[in-house]
Chain A
């Protein structure tokens, strides 16, 4: 069985600051890992996906995530936050059975 834990239901950063959203996973098989973003009144949109090809995965909008097997982590980062990054972010794991985390709401202060 797979599961994910997102640390922090709410993260607030200043515009231009580093964004770090944490995700830890549990999987009995080599996992596929995803980060999705949800803007207000919209569905989820894929940011990036890890499929074992490379441990550092680059996604859209300047986001990237690093797969660390020893730490069972897949944290999402962006060097410089923009106001438009304010949204809810979901980590998900799939070893054939997709499981989502509870989400982290990112607020960006001007």
Chain B
């Protein structure tokens, strides 16, 4: 298995632009998580899905953030409009039950200028 695939690896965008981050979980994993990592706040859970259904989005910082999972092999995290404080590394992770850890993707480093 190729693992959790995220794209793009790096994204530089201007403030106010829309940003879309993509994730392909490991085949057979029915849980998908989006995390944001910054030096100040560490690894924050933004939202997670089970069987393509959002279960908890309480970590989504603002209405500017939205996430979808249209099928078992694809998820997106969208920021519209983006702001400089959104600059961070965004990780996607997947797992199934019984949990043996989460497998993380390589992350997307987002820079909003």
A interacts with B: no
